[in-house]
Amino acid sequence: MNQEPSPASFDQEREHTRTGMSKASLKRDFLDNLFYIQGRFREVATPHDLYMAAAYTTRDRLLARWVKSAQDFKTTHARTVCYLSAEFLLGPHLANNLVNLGIAETSTEAAEELDLDLNAIIEEEEEPGLGNGGLGRLAACFMDSLSTLQIPSIGYGIRYEFGIFDQMIENGWQVEKSDTWLRNGNPWEIPRPKIRFPVMYGGHTEQYRDHDGRPRTRWVPDLVIDGVAYDTPILGYGVGNVNLLRLWKAEASESFDFQAFNVGDYYGAVHAKIEAETISKVLYPNDEPEAGKELRLKQQFFFVSCSVQDMIRLQFNTVGPLETLADKFVAQLNDTHPALAVAELMRLLMDEHDMEWDQAWDITHRVFCYTNHTLLPEALETWSVSLFERLLPRHLEIVYAINQRFLDQVRVRFLGDEDRVRRMSLIAEDGERRVRMAHLAVVGSRAVNGVAELHSELVKTTLFRDFHELWPDRFHNVTNGVTPRRFMVVANPRLTRLITETCGSDAWIRDLDRLRELEAHATDPGLHERWHEVKIAAKRDLSAWLKHRTGVLLDPEAMFDVQAKRIHEYKRQHLNVLHIVRCYQRIKQNPNHDMVPRAFVFGGKAAPGYFMAKLIIKLINAIAEVVNKDPQVNGFIRVVFMPDFNVKNGQRLYPAANLSEQISLAGKEASGTGNMKFSMNGALTIGTLDGANVEIREEVGAENFFLFGMSAEEVNRRQHQGYRPWELYRGDPELRSDIDLINSGLFSHGDTQLFRPLTDQLVNQDPFMVLADYRAYLTCHDHVAEVYRDHHRWTRMSILNVARMGKFSSDRAIREYAERIWQVEPHPVGGG
């Protein structure tokens, strides 16, 4: 330990000092930051002061790399990806940045020498929850991989003052509390008050002739607000590349303010300011069902308009002429939320930059690509024409003009097929006329992709069937992935160490296919023992946290059977619940019943207005209450609902799971990404053939995956035949008794009506066919238990799951986008 440093490590130490990576410089800068930024000294610093000092110390180390990246990209005119997303569900920055900088261990030691616990400091960070679920988290994983793969990119989104609500559980019900992530300041962002764009709303349009006598359109808005840039550096893992996450905050436009002020309307001016600022105030907490709120349309246009204006500004600052915009930039639309960008770029090119339609369309169409994330009809965005017109009159004209040209094309290709024309139109004409954002996105993009193979097939054969017939080459698949940096290295340091030691290197962190090297050790008893130890340790950590937060004590030796994701009927948390009720009844009916002890863990938020999802949460908690205090059963099963499932809490959950529940109705879950996070951390999956489950099973091997339930085709067939859930209810005594037990009031202090909306729905409609998959699910769970009893078999399967997860790195996904869709090249920035 106390050896003289060898010349090599001496050089390294000197280099680290120069780049600020040595322990000594970390300690010095930490104390400096504590003093100069927080105005504190060590002895009186609060945990939050310590966190802020650590954050600034880390951020300082990002900045040099950031500036270098920006300079490099600017001088070389590097082709750049713009990822347009209404959501970025980033999760805490500190630990992730330490890992990506390669100073996690040094920082731990530096903290120890200051008598501090780095983990406790990391815990202090409140995460920016600027997203609802998978879609927002995907955007965050993609930002990590874009930087790690050294692809110049900018993430564009909204700097919501209030992110996704914090979930509390009161009396078993979800209660929403507003998120206050900015309350204590955000050390990771840099405001750019000079990067500011006007965003217009309302008013009317006028026709006029320009100097050359050509007809032009001018938009005369009745509201202008400003979007101001807030930048967050996104560092890649082990590289010098730092990309930009640029989030827009809405502010009252100064010129607008003055107008009101000048006519003496001070109150009016202040009011306008408040109105303007509401635009970036709060994230809409709906996952899936479409909200249709005016403010949401305003938000979408707000960030899209700022982002496209920024792209044009950058084009002028670097390459030059707008004609080459599509060579400099490709813009990915993360779902339809940013689809207005198509119309906005057209407007800017034509109305502000004097371009003719054909050229503007050629550029626009080459800039955009679109990712679809859902087939659920109720989730597809449409906006009423009247609202659209009131807010964005010029864009409605442009949408109509796009539509006219597009439908002419359809008519030429499919002579006389007016029904097809009606189906494909950007405007839905049945009932109130509505703009179909998905159609706008498909027509305005050069590539359209789904997020898993099955999903992309369904996109082509169902949702966009007509479009696929017209433009077969436009459609692609890019299966989602997740970043192993956050979801393995940060979340599960013990597993990370074990894998690195077993493989003899940490190269797998940037090349996840190298996890395959674990396969050679899959039956090694030494590894089995350590693998088990790592899992048990994670389960102990989770148990302690859950005990503290919920009062429920879990036995780390029990099988941790976990379902964590947004609460939604299509995800079928209630199918999981029926299995728990079955276990309960089996134990009650046969006190000598022998079963593998299980801890059922749930996590997930329900959209505040989604009654059925909230009732499912209540049901889980109601069952938990009865089960956990009944000594006859609680030695075998325990149930706990983890409150406030978010990125941070997910990081506690994934490492501790033995079994991952991925049980959506086949054909409904576009991909899923939690499925990947669990499996990467050694959980086995019980799942349907839905979304990316199909590919996970292909990769890990059918024998290492617990499959049950109908396929998407069977679901389709069953539905066409006429699905009658009540017959299943009547025909299966166990199913009937499980549902009846829920209705009996046992879990609801005698209230026989509380869960009726849920049980009635199951028996009478069952739109997500819970009852149809019930039997297969139970049988599969029995098999799971049997396998779990065989420790070595289970551990081997767990190792093989991890070993074969390479495909599900977001690095692979981004590489596919880069090669097949974006045509962008890596662009290394030195100094990594």
What is the binding site for ligand HBZ (CB under 6 A)?
132-135, 138, 286-288, 373-374, 379, 451, 480, 669-673, 691
Question: Is 79 an active-site residue?
Answer: no
| Structure token digits, residue 262 | 């000048």
Cα(243)–Cα(225) distance, rounded to whole angstroms? 27
Q: Of 138 and 341, which CB lies nearer to ligand HBZ in the complex structure?
A: 138
Tell me the closest approach of the beta carbon of residue 613 to ligand HBZ, in angstroms: 14
Tell me the closest approach of the beta carbon of residue 381 to ligand HBZ, in angstroms: 7
Catalytic residue (one of 80, 673, 759, 795): 673
**Which backbone phi and psi does 90 adopt, to 5 degrees?**
-75, -35
Contact partners, residue 148, CB within 8 Å, separation at least 6:
100, 236, 237, 238, 239, 241, 483, 485, 510, 811
Q: Of 155 and 672, which CB lies nearer to ligand HBZ in the complex structure?
A: 672
Tell me the closest approach of the beta carbon of residue 494 to ligand HBZ, in angstroms: 27
The DSSP code sequence of 762-810 is HHHT-TT-HHHHHHHHHHHHHHHHHHHHSHHHHHHHHHHHHHT-GGGBH
Q: Of 23 and 668, which CB lies nearer to ligand HBZ in the complex structure?
A: 668
Q: Of 584 and 822, which CB lies nearer to ligand HBZ in the complex structure?
A: 822
- Between 357-367 and 340-347, two packed helices, what is the crossing angle to 10 degrees? 140
Catalytic residue (one of 79, 566, 582, 648): 566
Contact 690, 454 (CB under 8 A): yes
Contact 688, 709 (CB under 8 A): yes
Tell me the closest approach of the beta carbon of residue 29 to ligand HBZ, in angstroms: 38
Tell me the closest approach of the beta carbon of residue 567 to ligand HBZ, in angstroms: 13
Contact 328, 77 (CB under 8 A): yes
- Would you call 608 helix, strand, or coil by DSSP? coil
Q: Of 318 and 711, which CB lies nearer to ligand HBZ in the complex structure?
A: 711
Q: Of 481 and 682, which CB lies nearer to ligand HBZ in the complex structure?
A: 481
Question: Is 605 an active-site residue?
Answer: no
For residue 803, the cross-strand partners are none
The tally of CA atoms less than 13 A away on the side-chain side of residue 625 is 16
Q: Is the dihedral of CA 317, 321, 327, 333 positive or negative?
A: positive
Element (H, E) at 9: helix 7-19
Of 269, 352, 270, 258, residue with least CA distance to 305:
352
Element (H, E) at 169: strand 166-170
Query: Which amino acid is it at 801?
Result: N
Q: Of 173 and 284, which CB lies nearer to ligand HBZ in the complex structure?
A: 284
Catalytic residue (one of 27, 159, 373, 668): 373
Element (H, E) at 230: strand 223-235
The DSSP code sequence of 338-404 is TTHHHHHHHHIIIIIT---HHHHHHHHHHHEEEE-----GGGS-EEEHHHHHHH-HHHHHHHHHHHH
Q: Of 364 and 673, which CB lies nearer to ligand HBZ in the complex structure?
A: 673
Q: Which ranges constitute the DSSP H helices of 20-81?
A: 23-36, 47-76
660 CB burial (10 A radius; 0-12, 13-18, 19+):
buried
Q: Of 288 and 699, which CB lies nearer to ligand HBZ in the complex structure?
A: 288
Q: Of 287 and 310, which CB lies nearer to ligand HBZ in the complex structure?
A: 287
Cα(378)–Cα(623) distance, rounded to whole angstroms? 30
Tell me the closest approach of the beta carbon of residue 715 to ligand HBZ, in angstroms: 16
Q: Of 286 and 716, which CB lies nearer to ligand HBZ in the complex structure?
A: 286
Catalytic residue (one of 439, 565, 568, 579): 565
Q: Of 160 and 531, which CB lies nearer to ligand HBZ in the complex structure?
A: 160
Q: Of 373 and 598, which CB lies nearer to ligand HBZ in the complex structure?
A: 373
Tell me the closest approach of the beta carbon of residue 373 to ligand HBZ, in angstroms: 4
Tell me the closest approach of the beta carbon of residue 673 to ligand HBZ, in angstroms: 5
Tell me the closest approach of the beta carbon of residue 467 to ligand HBZ, in angstroms: 20
- β-bridge pairing 329-334 and 242-252: unpaired
End-to-end CA distance of the chain: 28
Catalytic residue (one of 16, 296, 571, 572): 571
Residue with nearest beta carbon to ligand HBZ: 134
Contact 693, 684 (CB under 8 A): no
For residue 199, the cross-strand partners are 225
Tell me the closest approach of the beta carbon of residue 334 to ligand HBZ, in angstroms: 9
Residue burial 61-84, b: 16+ Cβ < 10 Å; e: rest: bbeebbebbbebbeeeebbbbbbb
**In the sheet that 475-477 helps form, which strands lie side by side, from edge to edge?**
190-201, 223-235, 242-252, 153-158, 80-84, 329-334, 368-371, 447-450, 475-477
Place of tokens 């999802």: 613
Contact partners, residue 623, CB within 8 Å, separation at least 6:
577, 580, 581, 584, 639, 747
Contact 125, 800 (CB under 8 A): no
Contact partners, residue 515, CB within 8 Å, separation at least 6:
499, 503, 508, 802, 803, 804, 805, 806
Question: Is 807 an active-site residue?
Answer: no
Distance (Å) of CA 560 to CA 299, 483, 539, 638, 697: 41, 23, 8, 10, 20
Question: Is 318 an active-site residue?
Answer: no
Cα(305)–Cα(226) distance, rounded to whole angstroms? 10
Question: Is 566 an active-site residue?
Answer: yes
Tell me the closest approach of the beta carbon of residue 372 to ligand HBZ, in angstroms: 9
Question: What is the signed CA dihedral for 166, 170, 172, 175, rounded to 10 degrees?
Answer: -40
Catalytic residue (one of 677, 697, 807, 827): 677
**In the sheet that 706-707 helps form, which strands lie side by side, from edge to edge?**
637-642, 598-603, 559-564, 659-662, 684-687, 706-707
Tell me the closest approach of the beta carbon of residue 566 to ligand HBZ, in angstroms: 7
Question: Is 565 an active-site residue?
Answer: yes
Tell me the closest approach of the beta carbon of residue 296 to ligand HBZ, in angstroms: 8
Q: Which residues are catalytically annotated?
A: 373, 565-566, 571, 673, 677
